[in-house]
Amino acid sequence: MVSRPALPVPEALRDEELIRKHYERMARAGLEEDLGYGPDLTTLSTIAKDQVGRRVLRSRASGVLSGLDAISVLLKVAAEPEWGLGGTVEFRTALSNGDRVQPGKEVALLEGDLRAMLQLERSMLNIVSHASAIATHTAEWVERLPEGVVVRDSRKTLPGLRMLQKRAVVHGGGAPHRWALGDQVMVKDNHVLSQADHSQPGSGAEDAGDVVAAYKLVQHCGQWIEVEVDDLEQLRAILPYKPMQILLDNFSLEETRQAVALRDEHSPATLLESSGGLTLDNAADYGATGVDSIAVGALTHSVTVLDLGLD
């Protein structure tokens, strides 16, 4: 049995203080968007001052929860005097991020100042519905893949929402790719192109030697290194250098099977990751080839919200 290294987990996603800071920044952005252009005259005119209320956060669909801790941070930030909400809202739940829910399931109970609750309702739902959508979609990929094959996300996240989105992938059972440009090395096709021989202007094509040249420039940097290859020729060229991880970009199923055989023969400890052209329908087929992981940008950039409501 070949022993391969474990995929690295970005430190940012394990840093509780950093998580809180990102959620506070997200909360302030949402509050500024809703309350930064003047008071909510609708709520202030129709709801009596100091009126208290109770709302139930309930799931209207099946899915996996995420973003519950972000809601708690939002409510804490919203209690700050600068937002002028005038009261606080208490958030109570017996559930956790990563828990599955069915239609009609009570997720949380909110009690407190009714004016504040109505003004915060949309921000709360936006956060938990979006995060839960990512967790739910990730769980669908996990269910399609063979045991031991990991589904990973990408940096295809919205500015300011990366912490929420990447943590949601984890809550759905996926594994986060690098957090930022600085915590892993990833040699992609554009880096390889920079090593191309420009003595033939207009060629615009990288070759196997360029992949090796780019890898040699980063192999002693002291970080986790993943190298992207576009074809079997590049793979054959880079395998003798035994990189930690290789990304097979847009390989067909047959090419992926050949890539796994080459890896097993020349560098058994190297992790292989498939990316490009992957769908839920072909996930099991790619997972069965022997790759260690698949990377799916759609986990964060193409999801439909999980239907949750405040009743």
pLDDT tens-digit map of 233-250 = 999 999 999 999 999 999
Q: Which one of 1.10.630.10, 3.40.50.1980, 3.40.50.1000, 3.20.20.70 gives the CATH number of domain 141-301?
A: 3.20.20.70
- Residue holding tokens 């893949």? 145
pLDDT given for residue 292 in this prediction? 97
Question: Residue 197 — pLDDT band, cuts 50, 70, 90?
Answer: low
- The pLDDT mean for the chain works out to 93
Are β-strands 225-229 and 185-187 bridged in parallel, bridged antiparallel, or unpaired? parallel
Catalytic residue list contains 264: no
Three-class DSSP labels, the chain: CCCCCCCCCCHHHHCHHHHHHHHHHHHHHHHHHHHCCCCCHHHHHHCCCCCEEEEEEEECCCEECCCHHHHHHHHHHHCCHHHCCCCCEEEECCCCCCCEECCCCEEEEEEEEHHHHHHHHHHHHHHHHHHHHHHHHHHHHHHHCCCCCEEECCCCCCCCCHHHHHHHHHHCCCECCCCCCCCCEEECHHHHHCCCCCCCCCCCCCCHHHHHHHHHHHCCCCCCEEEEECCHHHHHHHHHHCCCEEEEECCCHHHHHHHHHHHHHHCCCCEEEEECCCCCCCHHHHHCCCCCEEECCHHHHCCCCCCEEEC
pLDDT given for residue 206 in this prediction? 52
Q: Is the pLDDT of residue 58 over 90?
A: yes
pLDDT given for residue 202 in this prediction? 45
Q: Looking at 249, 263, 273, 292, which residue is catalytic?
A: 249
- Phi and psi at 308, nearest 5°, equal -125, 150
pLDDT given for residue 201 in this prediction? 46
Q: CATH number of the domain at 11-134+305-310, please? A: 3.90.1170.20
Q: Is the pLDDT of residue 203 over 60?
A: no
Averaged pLDDT, 164-192: 92
Q: Looking at 21, 122, 216, 242, which residue is catalytic?
A: 122
Q: Is the pLDDT of residue 198 over 80?
A: no
Q: How far apart are CA 96 and CA 77, in angstroms?
A: 21
Cα–Cα distance list, 273 to 169, 193, 289, 296 (Å): 17, 21, 11, 10
pTM beyond 0.75: the answer is yes
pLDDT given for residue 48 in this prediction? 95
What the block records as the tokens of 70 is: 């972000």
Averaged pLDDT, 280-305: 95
The per-residue pLDDT for range 92-133, each reduced to its tens digit, is 999 999 999 999 999 999 999 999 999 999 999 999 999 999
What the block records as the tokens of 220 is: 């002693």
Q: How far apart are CA 311 and CA 293, in angstroms?
A: 40
pLDDT given for residue 196 in this prediction? 61
Cα–Cα distance list, 157 to 126, 172, 177 (Å): 16, 16, 12
Q: Looking at 113, 206, 228, 230, which residue is catalytic?
A: 228
How do the domains of the chain map onto residue ranges?
A: 11-134+305-310, 141-301
Catalytic residue list contains 105: no
Catalytic residue list contains 122: yes
pLDDT given for residue 277 in this prediction? 87
Query: Which residues 6+ apart lie within 8 Å of 155 measured at CB?
Result: 162, 177, 178, 180
Averaged pLDDT, 193-204: 53
Catalytic residue list contains 311: no
Using only C-alpha atoms, what is the Rg of the chain? Answer: 23
Q: Looking at 155, 156, 236, 257, which residue is catalytic?
A: 156
pLDDT given for residue 193 in this prediction? 75
pLDDT given for residue 311 in this prediction? 87
Catalytic residue list contains 156: yes
Contact between residue 150 and residue 292 where contact means Cβ atoms under 8 Å apart:
yes
253: left (phi over 0), alpha (psi -120 to 50) or beta: alpha
Are β-strands 308-310 and 52-59 bridged in parallel, bridged antiparallel, or unpaired? antiparallel
